[in-house]
Structure 1
Amino acid sequence: MYPYYPEIRRFPYLDHRHAQQRLTFVLVHGSWADARFWDDIAAVLRGNGHVVYTPEYAGHGGDPNKNVTHAMITKSVVDFITKLNLRDIVLVGHSFGGTVVQKAAEQVPERIKRLVFWDAFVLKDGESVVDEVPPQTRQGFEQLRASSRDDTIMLPFPLFRDLFVNTAALDVAKWIYASVAPEPAKPLFEKLNLKAFYALPTPKSYVYFYQDNVLPQGEGFGWNPHMSIRLGQFRLIVGDGDHMTDSRTRPAMVAQKLYEAGRD
């Protein structure tokens, strides 16, 4: 039955069809998105027996107030976790959400089983998000911020198409772009004190998709290993996808990678 993997006969838990370990996920989205980003992925995870929460944070979703700080965003997630008394959670951050996970972990470390960063920023102490993007991207963000009326940044479609959904067909790229809203700019430029984060012993994982083009590889930028190595000891899970497309087109694949990152 298993001609190439005879050890599975001796250890049935090695069979990928074996029931998944039941986990509790808290999924934190990134910039130019809201909690709906997780809908399809969460549905797959729930179908596999997991408990899944997708908190919304300040300045996003139905919140009309775009004058928010990184601390306000983090508070949204921390309050969600504490009010529901969630424990033993796998806290996942995607993209900008990685910085939220970093700060939230400082405040509720006893509630977290493992931290998972999916193509997510892992900032050094004292850094901001824009400190970790290429100079041309930062300049573009500054220009878009200056031209807005409410201190937000709205990605032009050509930029979004090439960086965020580069593997998508054009019609799929346009469909995803239709859900993009202006992003509050201030949290992207705030420098974060992360000394407490780097003292945490919490287990950590990094999920890296090879075709994610938001941060180009090389020249001092990129997701893995540039960001991931900052976690110290961590579990690396890789996949073939870009920054946003697969959350819509291949949610089962993403859900499996998050499970592999979060399981024992």
Structure 2
Amino acid sequence: MYPYCLGIHQFPYVDYRFLPHMPCGYYSLKEGRWFWRQDALGAENSNPPHAQQRLTFVLVHGSWADAHFWDGIAAALRRNGHTVYTPEYAGHGEDPNRNVTHAMITQSVVDFITRLNLHDIILVGHSFGGTVIQKVAEQVPDRIKRLIFWDAFVLKDGESVSDEVPPQTRQGFEQLRASSKDDTIMLPFPLFRDLFVNTANLDVARQIYAGVVPEPAKPLFEKLDLKAFYVLPTPKSYVYFYQDNVLPQGEGFGWNPHMSTRLGQFRLIVGDGDHMTDSRTRPAMVAQKLYEAGRD
């Protein structure tokens, strides 16, 4: 009923719009196209790690993003010998239909995994993507080696994402939703700059924001049945970046320990970064943290 794209996103992209101008050069322009520079990983990390255990990652992005969010991180993981998939889900990327539900988003990822017959995967969810991998894990638990939540929502049974943001933020979302013509929410730049890319300089913040599009509102307010998730024995990890300012720390909110401890036994990996900036400016660092969270 609702078409969506199930493409596998590979780097490079002609329309990659989120490129910060870094002094050491993470990207190079050749013949009018942006290319990932293989030497960029060395510039970012002068002491590369020893040979890594080969893993298969499936990376699920969050709100106000699409599968291109993972371009640099996926390239860094592949450089270290990993297999990486970055599925797009309903209502995002090239899908023009914004009238989607959380179940449709989940089904996009489930269909992607089963269509490619993937097994023994490290399933990663960033931000809103945490709620997606919670529901995906319920449907294909036998295909998942480990779940990784990177500054991601871990909802309780019966909760929605909107239940886990401060009242002022929720009210703001409701007002933005009401003022839209297609039941979406578009983040104002001042809010995006302070909460999502707080460690970026202004130029980089503006470049990242240029790629932000309105987010379908309905999935953010849907309450999810997660009873099946909370009885899964699947190993879990949580990656927490100290400077992530999307959720306030303390007073009943925040990523760690508020969200993370809901996983029961879990592996904690920490880093120094914010919600989105490091995926563009330090992708090899993020890739290393995901590897540490996913390895045996």
Report TM bin, short chain.
Answer: over 0.9
Q: AA paired with 1:65?
A: N
2:125 alignment counterpart: 93
2:112 alignment counterpart: 80
Q: AA paired with 1:114?
A: R
Matches within 5 A, 1:219-238: 219-238=251-270
Whether 1:183 and 2:215 are equivalent positions in the alignment is yes
SS at match of 1:155: coil
SS at match of 2:147: strand
Q: Distance in 1 between matches of 2:289 and 2:50?
A: 16
2:136 alignment counterpart: 104
1:150 alignment counterpart: 182
Q: Distance in 1 between matches of 2:103 and 2:275?
A: 25
Q: Distance in 1 between matches of 2:54 and 2:250?
A: 37
SS at match of 1:238: strand
Q: Distance in 2 between matches of 1:50 and 1:218?
A: 36
Q: Distance in 2 between matches of 1:157 and 1:50?
A: 35
> What are the superposed Cα offsets for residues 49-83 of structure 1, whole Å, 9 maximum, x if unpaired?
00000000000000000000000000000000000
Whether 1:201 and 2:240 are equivalent positions in the alignment is no
Q: AA paired with 2:211?
A: S
SS at match of 1:121: coil
Cα shift at 1:107: 0.1
1:171 alignment counterpart: 203
Q: AA paired with 1:33?
A: A
Superposed CA RMSD in Å reads 0.9
Select the residue among 45, 57, 62 that pairs with 2:89. Answer: 57
Please identify runs of 4+ aligned residues in structure 1 that moved more than 3 A. none
Q: Distance in 1 between matches of 2:61 and 2:154?
A: 14
Q: Percent identity?
A: 89
Q: Distance in 1 between matches of 2:48 and 2:159?
A: 40
- Give unmatched runs, 5+ long, in structure 1: 1-14
Cα shift at 1:17: 3.4
Cα shift at 1:97: 0.1
Whether 1:247 and 2:279 are equivalent positions in the alignment is yes
Q: Distance in 2 between matches of 1:206 and 1:34?
A: 21
- Give unmatched runs, 5+ long, in structure 2: 1-46
> What are the superposed Cα offsets for residues 4-63 of structure 1, whole Å, 9 maximum, x if unpaired?
xxxxxxxxxxx9732000000000000000000000000000000000000000000000
Select the residue among 144, 147, 150 that pairs with 1:118. Answer: 150
What TM-score comes out, normalization by structure 1 length? 0.94
2:74 alignment counterpart: 42
Q: AA paired with 2:138?
A: E
Q: Distance in 2 between matches of 1:147 and 1:17?
A: 49
Q: Distance in 2 between matches of 1:182 and 1:64?
A: 11
Q: Which range is displaced more, 16-25 or 87-96?
A: 16-25
Cα shift at 1:136: 0.5
More helix per residue = 1
What TM-score comes out, normalization by structure 2 length? 0.84
Q: Distance in 2 between matches of 1:245 and 1:216?
A: 18
- What is the aligned length? 250
> What are the superposed Cα offsets for residues 139-169 of structure 1, whole Å, 9 maximum, x if unpaired?
0000000000000000000000000000000
Q: Distance in 1 between matches of 2:49 and 2:241?
A: 23
